[in-house]
Structures are given as structure tokens and as C-alpha cells.
Structure 1
Amino acid sequence: MLNKTLSGFSGLSNFKEVVHNEYFLKALWNTVVWTVLSVAGEYAMGLISAVALNQQVKGRALFRAIIIIPWVVPIVIAGMTWTWMLTPDYGIINLWLTKLGIIDQPYYWLGELDTALLTVVFVNVWRSFPFFTISLLAGLQSVSRDMLEAAAIDGAGVRTRFFRIVMPQLKTVSITIVFIHVIWTAVNFDFIWVMTEGGPLYASETLPIMIYRYAMESYNFGNASALASMMLGFMISGFILYYMFSQRRNRT
């Protein structure tokens, strides 16, 4: 709190208050789920689309241009648009699902405890996977076709060629983009805030949203700074681990 009557070093009191907050563990778990599922989904979708766009098909240049559209859409516009589409009363998603017989009646995807966070993860994957597509597609362009043809002549199947030749050559770019997106996603605030504001009942609240509530709603800048410092420490630790892994890999 901003209290002029208090002065001096607070020590670890702010950190203790943050850790003992009743919603801290929930927000921490949501942050892990949000980050892991988002990055995993983005990588899987990016890899599939990159492999598809790397094939010699008619109109490939057009498809490559179209697939980047979700990435260039601003987060606020994407979040608000998907919120409208997922609305149970007039959202087009519920309309399609009910007409196809997948669900019996419109469902409040962003308003239920079990689906709020997963729905935002889905939308985040939809918007962010083109970044993976472009990066992995660039990596696929560097894979030697002569090597693939030689492996095919030797009897290696499509699956063997993909996992034994293609994927090892995508290792560097894969690790790099995954590491970058882990950081970007873990500290992401705007997507969840635009779509759910951390609700319902803190079901989709992550640590960045918790920091925002401390600072901008409760004006508890001490706790907000403490939690932000904890997240910064985590990011620095992740960077150090990534650097050590990269150095060890370069030596081998």
C-alpha cells in the first residue's frame, strides 16, 4: 500500500504476503497450464502447417500469405472478436456446434470454471501458431532434398525420414522459438484480460493478472513488485538454463 506513515525496508514481508495469498497457487497453476498448453499447441499447429506449406502444391504462395493473417491481428481485436463469437446468446460458434449436433444447447465457454482458461488457450494458439509456421517453414527450406532422396532410395519411409532427418535439423530453430514463446506466453496479460479478466471466480487468473490486480486495483505496489520480481527471477533462471544447454550442445 502507499502509506506515508510507513518507511524503511520491508524485508521479505511482501513476498510472504504474496505467497500466502489464497489465490497465489491457483494463479501459479493457471500460468503453468496456460503457458505449456499454449506453446505446445502453437508448436504442433505450426509444425503441421509448415510441413503442409512446404509441399509443392498449387497456390502455395497464396496459402503462405493467408496463414499469417491471425498473427497480424491485434490481440485486443482478436480477443474481442472471439469473445463475441463464443457468446452463448448470439455467438456463431455455438450456432455452428448446435447445428452440427456436437452440443445440445449453447454453452458459455468463457463463463464456466472448467472451460474458461482452455478456451482462451485455444484462441491464443489460433493467433500465435503462424509465428511457429514461418519459423519452422524457414527451417524446412534448409533441409537437404538430396539427403531425403538418398534416404528414400535406401528404403526409409516417410515417417523415418521425417523423424530421423527433418526433425534433427529443426532442433535449433525449435528450441529457440519455444524458449522465446514460453517467456512471451508466461508474461502475457492482455489476451486473458480482454476475454475473461481472470474469471470466472479466478478460474483463468494468471500471475501477470494477479500483478495487475495488486497494482491497479488494490494499489498494493509492494506486493505487485514482489510478485513481478519473482516472475523476473524465473525468467532469468530460464535464460541461464537455456544458455547453459546451448553451450553444452555447442561443445558436443
Structure 2
Amino acid sequence: MSGLTLREKRIRMVAYYFVIPALLFFILLNAYPLLTVVWDSFQLINMLNKALSGFSGLSNYVAVLQNENFKAALLHTFIWTILSVAGEYVFGLITALALNQNIRCRALFRGIIIIPWVVPIVIAGMTWTWMLDPNFGIINYWLVKMGIIAQPYNWLGQMNTALYAVIFVNIWRSFPFYTISLLAGLQSVSKDILEAAAIDGAGVRVRFFNVVLPQLKSISLTIIFIHLIWTAINFDFIWVMTEGGPLYATETLPIQIFRYAMQTYNFGYASALASMMLGFMMTAFLLYYFMSVRKTNR
């Protein structure tokens, strides 16, 4: 600061004055609640038994890990996250490639494709719950009419299909985000390089895997990483459609946190599980960040 002129110092001070309100807002809206959750994870906080209070050490974490449904919820979270993100990326890439072609009414299709993404999760979840209903759902009606199934099936009511049905709906709603992002990346791919590769005898498949996909690597890694976090902590879609049922078949870790906090009113357990998820997400973010910095330096 000593080498700066008086005018530059004033400009910096003005910049600080503009940043401080945003910083305070961030602290009040995000940092303080997060620190409160971490602190509560080491406390005995049960709204049904106010006499039970005080410092608990790691007992909340031990109790959460020993819960009979924890391993199943962890597995469901993994399946839910990986299959959702993989399906979203595949469908997003396919539709982006299709919308990048010189087809008639391309602008119209580009506008229509975004509709699932802008539909509120509650409305989308309730609509698909109705469509998948075994008694009057249109999905079962179509499948029976086409001869794919012999009779209506309770997709959300059976333990072996409930989670995959919700994953399918989540993919339907989220893949347009990938489509728009990847479409922007495809439009930045040099046509001269593609034409040169075609002249050299490279086929469509070779051009796609050796020219197009490497150009999409950066944006692909970014949206995949973001959605891994978004999907892992997603609560509302599963809760709207199945509430974690039947018989905990679709219960994920966020659903379990909700049960601890809002059904058994044990905020110590809820905070402990939330802190564990927060720690995992922060670790994943730091690994991704340092790997990105390492590649950039290379």
C-alpha cells in the first residue's frame, strides 16, 4: 500500500466498502449456519428431551454410524448420485450434439429442451408421481398398450424399482442443464480442425473422440463436479416422490438428516451427519481444486 498513490488508495478503499456488505451477507447466510451445525454436532440437542443437553464429544457421530439404516442410506446416496450424473451427462451430450446440427426449427428445439430444467422440483415430482401411479398413471397405460408390460406396475411402491424410477425422473429434469452447457462448448470447437481431420480420412467416430470430446473436457469436468455435489445433497426430489420409502428403499443421507431433525427432533444427530457430509464435500472439492491447479501448472 505504501507504493500506491492517494487516488489508488481511495479507489481500493471504495472497492473494500462495496465488498464488505457482500462479505457480511455471506457470513450471516452461510458461514455462521455452517459453523453452528458443526458446533451442534458435538452437543446433546434433543427437542423431545430438553433435560438431555451438554457436550457429547463424538457420541453423536458414533450413534449415526451405528444406525441400522446408515449403510443402506450411504449406498443409496452413491447409486443416486452416480447414476443420475452419468445419465444426465449422456443425455445432455446426445441432445447437445443433435441441437448443434444444422436442422430445421433448431431454435425452437433449443427453447423446448430447457423446459424440464425450469419446472419447479415439487411440480415435476408430483406430476411424475401421478404419471407413474399403477392405477391411473399414463406411463403404465402406455406400457401396457404397447405390450411392454402385461399389467400396471407400481414403480414407486416396489423396493427394487423405486430408487431407479426417481433417478430416471431426476435425469429427465436435469439433463437440459448439460445440454445447454455442452452446446455452448460444441459451438466453440473449431470447424477448420474438424474439416482438416475429415480431409485426413478421420471418420465421424474418430473426429468425435479425438477432436470434439477433448475440446469439451474442461466444461465436462466442471459441470460433472458441480452436479455430483448438487445431486448428493439433493433432498426435495426424493422426498416429494417417495419420502424415502418404501421401507427406506430410497432413503439417502439428506433424507436421513431430515428424519433426525424434523421427525425425531434430534438435532445433535442431524448436525453430526450433516457435518460428515460437509467434510466429505469439502475434501472432494479440495482434491479437485489441487488436481486442477497441478494440471494448469504442468
TM over 0.5, shorter chain: yes
Q: Residue 179 of structure 2 corresponds to which residue in structure 1?
A: 133
Distance in 2, matches of 1:141 and 1:245, equals: 27
Q: Select 1:21's aligned residue among 67, 82, 86.
A: 67
| Number of residue-to-residue matches in the alignment | 252
Tell me the secondary structure at the aligned position of residue 8 of structure 1.
strand
Match for residue 240 of structure 2?
A: 194
- Deviations 1:152-196, CA, capped at 9 Å, x for gaps: 000000000000010001000000000000000000000000000
1:73 equivalent to 2:119? Answer yes
Moved over 4 A (4+): none
Cα displacement string for residues 95-130 of structure 1 (whole angstroms, at most 9, x for unaligned residues) = 000000000000000000000000000000000000
1:14 positional shift: 0.2
Percent identical among aligned pairs is 72
Match of 1:208 among 236, 242, 254: 254
Amino acid at match of 1:21: N
Letter in 2 for 1:30: H
1:52 has 2:98 as partner: yes
| Cα displacement (A) at 1:138 | 0.3
Say whether residues 1:144 and 2:187 are aligned partners. no
- Unaligned residue ranges in structure 1 (runs of 5+): none
Could you tell me which of 145, 161, 164 is aligned with 1:99?
Answer: 145
Match in the other structure for 2:283: 237
Aligned letter for 1:158?
Answer: V
Q: In the alignment, which residue of structure 2 is the partner of 1:85?
A: 131
Where does residue 122 of structure 1 map in the other structure? 168
In the alignment, which residue of structure 2 is the partner of 1:37? 83
RMSD: 0.7
1:182 lines up with 2:228 in the alignment: yes
Task: Give distance in 2, aligned partners of 1:112 and 1:86.
Answer: 12
Q: Partner of 1:179: helix, strand, or coil?
A: helix
Match of 2:29 in 1: none
Query: Which AA in structure 1 matches 2:232?
Result: A
SS of the residue corresponding to residue 90 of structure 1 reads coil
Offset at residue 134 of structure 1 (A): 0.3
C-alpha distance in 2, partners of 1:70/1:8? 47
Q: Provide TM-score, normalisation by structure 2.
A: 0.84
